[in-house]
Amino acid sequence: MKLFTHPVPVALGLTTLLTLPLVGPLISVQHTEIYHLHGNASAVFLPVFLFILLLWIAFAVVLQLTRTRPGLHFILWALILFLLPSTALKIWSTLLSLQLPHWISLLVFLCAFAGFFVLLFCQNSALRNAFHRVQQLLATMLGFASLTGILILCQLGWFAFQARHLNDPVRFHASGLHGTSSSTSARPHRIIWLLLDELSYQQLYERRPPDLELLAFDRLAQQSTLFTHTVPAGLMTEYVIPSLFTGLPVDAMRSSPDGRTILLQVLESDAPYITHWQQVDPADTVFHDALQHRYSTAIAGWYNPYCRVFASVLDRCLWAQRSLLVGDMSEDNSLTRNLLMPLHHVLDIALRSLPTQRQAAAANARDAAIHLQDYTELVRDADSLVNDPSADLLYLHMPVPHPVGIYNRHTRQFTTGPATYLDNLALADAYLAHLRQQLEQSSQWDSTTLLIMGDHSWRTVPIWTGTSAWSPEEQAASHGGQFDDRPAYIVKLPNQHTPARIEAPYAARNTRALLNALMDQRIHTPQDLANWAATQPHE
């Protein structure tokens, strides 16, 4: 047992505990952090790995130096013992993504700190002896935790090696080498598939706040088919998008360690509570279907690494995702700066309470700035593809109206200050107007098939109502945070000039089948669309 109370293993155990929120996302079996990384994986792994080593060495040196100085040894362990409760609380809330009130961690911290001073100035021998026994037990537990720390370091190194070529340049499908079409008829008109992230049918067309003008969506409704009861393919974008691409019923997703392969947890059609994991084959997606129909394929998309995962079935691809990494690191930072960010993160966990309202507002503004950068970059990239008529099947995934708010609908200006889902909904309307203007200027609006949808609806209760960014305006607009799971789903056929509605339930995962029906020229009129939808699964 003495081996486990030596400063070296104890220091590693303490380091492991403090850095769990940093390494947790990097060693997760889902590999989500790396899967969504836009830059080089070393921007994450190397700073975290070096920081763990440096922190381990620092703790080991301090523990070793205080072993021969009883007074300092006692003060050090008293600090460790009484900082652990609030630290453990914050680590627990971080790993589980819990939104705990600020006062809870502050109360725990103050109680522990008061206990530290009581112990420091109390001369009661019984209390000191009890503290010594607790200290020995804690040292032993931290020593055993070092075994986990060794495993974590090995796993961290292995996953870093796996992801070393994460975003190397990829080779796209060669234009002009499309598969042979199963039909001898001419290729149908251009198809643009616009996915507006978190677009709610209810907020768009049923319960719109009176001060929210959505002129582009209202205008579109006069010459398109609205699906009023779309059954979403899921709640999370990570697996909804692959479900739409493949047509599979999915309820979970994970990535391979190298971030280049998607595994989906697929629901059995005849036994919905039984699932199996299935690797996504790009050749079994709607984009390969398009190539077989002699379409060219193009994507400008947000969040998912489309260009990395689906390169073999895409002729052109652009994607944007600039989220902060673990420990608030950025892939644009230098190694030195990314080394300092984990230090700041660990100090926050060890010494500060949960975020105050002011700190939460600052974090929201930072997230809004990143969200805005993604949006403006994607609009530019999408414009380049929209204005290229050779992009026959064009998929656009825009990061609005997904919170956080980046637009003030009253001033019609971008903002990183207070803004809401409703503001972003107005921005989505502005983008639709922009897209329409582009197509009208090139005389393509009437001839283009346009599919506009949300990947999921506005996730009020499931996600946003418990966050610091939730506003009274959103509370009122959602009627107390009520969750309506229907995403918007709108189809404008070529030369359609009259409105239509499909009231029956319709499963969003039929999107691949719908696009194939459009490419096969089996749908020409709103009535054709209604007849086709009636034959599709409803769930």
Please report which confidence band the pLDDT of residue 102 belongs to, taking 50, 70 and 90 as the band edges: low
Q: Are strands 413-414 and 393-398 parallel, antiparallel or unpaired?
A: unpaired
Question: Does the N-terminal peptide bond of residue 231 adopt cis geometry, omega within 30 degrees of 0?
Answer: no
CB distance 405 to 415 below 8 Å: yes
* Calpha distance 429→401 (Å, rounded): 9
DSSP string, 323-392: ---GGG--TTS-HHHHHHHHHHHHHHHHH--S--HHHHHHHHHHHHHHHHHHHHHHHHHHHHHHT-TT-S
CA angle 171, 177, 179 (to 5 degrees): 115
Q: What is the pLDDT of residue 458?
A: 97
Mean pLDDT of the chain: 88
pLDDT tens digits, 432-447: 999 999 999 999 999 9
Chosen CATH of 194-251+282-323+356-534 out of 3.40.720.10, 3.30.1370.60, 3.30.530.20, 3.40.50.300: 3.40.720.10
Residue 498 to residue 260: CA distance in whole angstroms: 43
Q: How far is CA 56 from CA 50, 202, 388, 503, in A?
A: 10, 53, 55, 62
Quick one: pLDDT at residue 176?
45
Average pLDDT over residues 254-271: 89
The pLDDT tens digits for 458-479 are 999 999 998 888 999 999 999 9
- Of 148-157, 225-234, 333-342, 404-413, minimum mean pLDDT range: 333-342
**Statement: residue 181 has pLDDT above 50:** no
pLDDT by residue (tens digit) across 293-309?
999 999 999 999 999 99
CB–CB of 290/393 below 8 Å? yes
Once rounded to an integer, what is the mean pLDDT over residues 236-255?
Answer: 95
Span 187-207, average pLDDT: 92
**Mean pLDDT calculated for residue range 340-360:** 67
DSSP lists the bridge partners of residue 263 as 254, 279
Least confident segment among 189-193, 330-334, 426-430, 448-452: 330-334
Residue 415 has pLDDT above 80, yes or no: yes
Determine contact, residues 113/106, Cβ cutoff 8 Å: no
Of the pLDDT bands very low, low, confident and very high (cuts 50, 70, 90), residue 84 is confident
pLDDT score at 96:
65
Whether residue 174 has pLDDT greater than 80: no
| Strand order through the sheet with 449-453 | 316-320, 297-302, 393-398, 191-196, 449-453, 489-492, 225-227, 500-502
Distance CA 499, CA 227 (A): 11
| The two structure tokens encoding residue 413 | 């200006």
Residue that wins the pLDDT comparison between 235 and 348 = 235
d(CA 342, CA 504): 51
43: confidence class by pLDDT, cuts 50, 70, 90: confident
Higher pLDDT residue, 329 or 294?
294
| pLDDT above 50 for 178 | no
Rounded alpha-carbon distances, angstroms, from residue 47 to 25, 44, 474: 14, 6, 39
d(CA 412, CA 429): 12
- pTM metric for this prediction: 0.88
* C-beta separation of 334 from 401 below 8 A: no
Could you give the 3-state DSSP secondary structure of residue 169? coil
Residues 459, 175 contacting (CB under 8 angstroms): no
Q: pLDDT-based confidence at 185, cuts 50/70/90?
A: very low
DSSP 433-455: HHHHHHHHHTT-TTT-EEEEE-S
> Of the segments 45-49, 84-88, 177-181, 282-286, which one has the largest average pLDDT value?
282-286
Percent of the chain with pLDDT over 70: 88
Tokens read off for 68 = 């021969």
Lowest mean pLDDT: which of 102-116, 223-237, 510-524?
102-116
**In the chain, what are the domain boundaries?**
2-162, 194-251+282-323+356-534
Q: What is the pLDDT of residue 179?
A: 42
> Closest Cα to residue 400, out of 177, 194, 189, 146?
194
Give the model's pLDDT for residue 182: 41
Predicted confidence (pLDDT) at residue 520 exceeds the cutoff of 90? yes
Q: Report whether pLDDT(175) > 70.
A: no
122-131, 240-249, 275-284 — which is least confidently predicted?
122-131
Tell me the average pLDDT across 52-67.
92
Looking at residues 80-109, what average pLDDT do you find? 70
Please state the φ and ψ torsions of residue 89, each to the nearest 5 degrees.
Answer: -60, -45
- Encoded tokens for 412: 């019609």
Instruction: Give the residue with greater pLDDT, 298 vs 106.
Output: 298
What confidence tier does 1 reach under pLDDT thresholds 50, 70, 90? low
